[in-house]
Chains A and B, each alone.
Chain A
């Protein structure tokens, strides 16, 4: 698959995209200290180790913070406003920015249980790591992006 975001990728970040293409949510994990991190870095931010592998993660987490965007940063997002950008604290530890879907912007709360939903955010766009309310821990929802 070729898309503009994948074209930005390099040897450090390419596994993120190749996992998403396989419908997998993976993050780097250090074999020296066992801890996960994100974004990918040349050295483990926890212990400085360089034996880092990508492992599939649970895809579960909770909303650490969020913002509802009312003014699009560029014309590409103009038809989507308002939308909710979140930071999710994953079960494995790392925090990551994402789009929160399957929930009205004014219903989002910090602490909301969420789970991964891999799919395009716009039309035929590339698969992204989106998050939605967790059907096991909240009201059940189909993944709107798949």
Chain B
């Protein structure tokens, strides 16, 4: 039985975070973007490439890598890792990578694990191609769903339509999420879309798949992210204040959305319950929540299922700027997938990076005052798989 099960404190700490140039970066390949992100995280931590003895990455869509962790280890010159793996829990990969790096540290397998992922998704394909590739990416079942012609956005639109039916959620409430994310992105120099938008602009933007408009949908971006997890005793000597994973949890309900019979209830309820129990804190104690925001409806169901409000009240919860900076619960303060950056599976890593920076007090204009407890949440598939982290500083 591991010491973790007996309740001993985790020895893993997040010691460095970084990203490549984000948005449209036509002159860098996936591997170059990952190199840039990893270098930024090493510089942030005050570590050298030779300190890295573990590697976690994700698959990419822009290149035919049969063995992503091997390609990345070779490309980044990580010559004798004591652990390496390719992780894929879809959109939950960002939070899950960090948790699994911590497990590797706590198992004594490695001293310092680099989590790195990203790609030039925007540049690789014209947007139309990217949409087609994603639509054919298997998110809809190839035989039982894809033949009817759904976009990925359609799969989330089915959730949104049902949520509106059951709880009276409105398009304007969905739009509030997009407005808050854009307001946050306007304060993030790295964000892809920084011009503020209004609820009216969201609901009058082009309808993609009802009830979701184009501004209810995430971006497609170039970019990579890196997060370095090391041991507490080493973290003390490094450049930044270490960040600890106080709790984590996973939740799973379904692989495909068509057969899922409770379309408005997600595995975030399980992942959140487990994470809060482990951390010994309640939702009301969270200072900032970096929630996965692939579509506006995603944030609303996460707020409910993570326990920030009652089921069905997510629409009312996001109204009046309550999830914007200065509101009751600042959510996804870097601008998220909706306005900052979404290069595929790496997208959820930016939520963890922002949580770390908020806890260190480095966020400048978008800093949440006295942020001591942060939640980062990843959602994968079509609300099917979830990983929640609760983070704090020593």
B161/A65 in contact, CB under 8 A: yes
Residues on the A chain within 8 Å of B46, using CB: none
Residues on the A chain within 8 Å of B7, using CB: none
Secondary structure of the B contact surface, majority rule: loop
Given contacts A65-B162, A67-B157, A95-B261, contact A85 B141 (CB under 8 A): no
Given contacts A16-B144, A66-B161, A67-B158, contact A73 B150 (CB under 8 A): yes
Residues on the A chain within 8 Å of B206, using CB: 70-71
Interface string of B44-84 (1 = CB under 8 A from A): 00000000000000000000000000000000000000000
Residue of A9, A38, A77, A94 touching B149 (CB-CB under 8 A): A77
Cβ of B154 under 8 Å from chain A: yes
**How many pairs of residues, A versus B, come closer than 8 Å at their CB atoms?**
112
Closest chain-B Cβ to A72's Cβ sits at a distance in Å of: 7
Residue of A8, A77, A94 touching B142 (CB-CB under 8 A): A8
Closest chain-A Cβ to B265's Cβ sits at a distance in Å of: 13
Cβ of B391 under 8 Å from chain A: no
Chain B interface size range: 35 or more
Interface string of B201-232 (1 = CB under 8 A from A): 00000111111100000000000000000000
A65/B149 in contact, CB under 8 A: no
Given contacts A39-B256, A68-B209, A69-B209, contact A85 B162 (CB under 8 A): no
Given contacts A87-B158, A87-B263, A95-B261, contact A71 B208 (CB under 8 A): yes
Chain A interface size range: 35 or more
Residues on the B chain within 8 Å of A121, using CB: 147-148
Given contacts A16-B143, A68-B210, A70-B209, contact A97 B162 (CB under 8 A): no
Closest chain-B Cβ to A73's Cβ sits at a distance in Å of: 3
Closest chain-A Cβ to B283's Cβ sits at a distance in Å of: 28
Residue of B145, B209, B261 touching A67 (CB-CB under 8 A): B209
B208/A9 in contact, CB under 8 A: no
A43 to B257 CA separation, bound complex (whole angstroms)? 19
Closest chain-A Cβ to B152's Cβ sits at a distance in Å of: 8
- Chain B residue, CB-CB nearest to A111: B165
A65 to B169 CA separation, bound complex (whole angstroms)? 14
Sample of 13 further A-B pairs with CB below 8 A, known A38-B144, A98-B148: A39-B141, A65-B165, A67-B161, A69-B151, A70-B208, A73-B136, A74-B132, A74-B135, A76-B149, A80-B149, A87-B158, A110-B165, A121-B148
Closest 10 CB pairs of A and B: A97-B258, A73-B135, A67-B157, A65-B162, A68-B210, A77-B149, A99-B148, A65-B158, A97-B145, A110-B165
